[in-house]
Amino acid sequence: METFEIFTVIIHTVIALGLINVWLVRSNEKTNYRGKNAKNMVDEFKAYGLPSWFTYAIGSLKIAIAGLLMAALWVPIVTLPSAGALALLMIGALMMHAKVRDNALRYIPAMTMLLLSLLAIMIHLQ
């Protein structure tokens, strides 16, 4: 296995597991990274001024992206649209943290996912 292939597997897996952890395992838990000290994902989206249905729409999209990034390990053409969509969602997440003036700690997960998705794109384009 080439170096880029190893990095691809690691990056896609880290992104997918991170999204599953946030949206399926810990969505109803309070964490240090939730915007405006929200107690769960729905409260976090409300803190951003977004409707609760939007929480489920974004969550569904992110879980689909997690699946697509894992599928992209076998079907590489899926990498660009799925990692690109995640990058756009993470830019939106960063904008929401800025909107409510969160401290720098709360930006870390969204910034990390943005960087990983951009890295997945760059490796794919090599």
Structure tokens at 58: 């974004």
Predicted TM-score (pTM) of the model is 0.93
**Structural domains counted in the chain:** 1
pLDDT, residue 37, reads 86
Domain that holds residue 96: 3-125
Q: What is the pLDDT along the chain (126 residues), one digit of tens a residue?
A: 788 799 999 999 999 999 999 999 999 999 999 998 899 999 999 999 999 999 999 999 999 999 999 999 999 999 999 999 999 999 999 999 999 999 999 999 999 999 999 999 999 998
Q: How far apart are CA 14 and CA 25, in angstroms?
A: 15
Q: How far apart are CA 125 and CA 17, in angstroms?
A: 23
